[in-house]
A = this chain, B = another copy of it.
Amino acid sequence: MQMRKSPRQQRSRQTVERIIDAGRTVLADQGYDAFSTNRVAAVAGISPGSLYQYFGDKDAILTIVIDRYWDEVAEQVAASLNDRIGPGTIGLDGVRSILDALFSALERNPALLRVLTEQLPQVANRERRHALEQRIRDVLVTYLTARPESSRRPDVDLAAWVLVMAVQNVALRWSLDRPGFNRDRVLDEVVVLVGGYLLA
């Protein structure tokens, strides 16, 4: 179920925002198990009944929190992407700064990222993450097509898919697992991974 009715007055618009904030807070601070409607309502400082005036069910709140999170990540990566993609050939330093943006975006809210990726049924994230991936793949494909000299891979779609899948997991797992490796060196290695693949 989705949003039940839209808030008309000022007061209720604040209520809706407080519910969403409370949802994010509970998720990030106490985990998915604690994410009960009663608790979210309590943290939001409202009653459980009020919650159901605007949200059809528990999942509706969860969905909004998830959507907002991935939208923020997408926004930051897209910003860096658009900055670099205008001029001419990107070059390895450009790749690096885009990767840097991705890493930074994932570092913004580690607690929430952890809960979203480790405690939630992934099916909840699936749609949004696919959208994010698709968005980046599209940019990649148009870039690689426009500048064939920057890649030796024959199938552009396939190359973009492989790169996104590979890079995504390196970034994600570095953010979540915090292995002992230095951030800058990991970035360097990913740049090599990408460059080596495209120009092999």
A positions within 8 Å CB-CB of B = 32, 117-123, 126, 153, 155, 157-159, 161-162, 165-170, 173-174, 179, 181, 185-186, 189-190, 192-193, 195-200
* A198 / chain B contacts, CB cutoff of 8 Å: 196
Least distance between A192 CB and chain B CB atoms (Å): 5
Knowing A118-B121, A122-B118, the reply to whether A181 touches B161 (Cβ < 8 A) is: yes
- Are A162 and B158 closer than 8 Å at their CB atoms? no
Known: A162-B190, A193-B196. 7 other contacts (CB 8 A): A118-B123, A118-B126, A166-B169, A166-B170, A192-B197, A196-B197, A196-B200
Protomer copies: 2
Q: Chain A at the B interface: mostly helix, strand, loop or mixed?
A: helix
Least distance between A29 CB and chain B CB atoms (Å): 16
Knowing A118-B126, A119-B121, A181-B158, the reply to whether A195 touches B189 (Cβ < 8 A) is: no
Least distance between A178 CB and chain B CB atoms (Å): 12
> How far, in angstroms, from A126 to B165 measured CA to CA in the complex?
19
* A121 / chain B contacts, CB cutoff of 8 Å: 32, 118-121
Most chain B CB neighbours (cut-off 10 Å) among A157, A174, A200: A200
Least distance between A181 CB and chain B CB atoms (Å): 5
- Are A200 and B192 closer than 8 Å at their CB atoms? yes
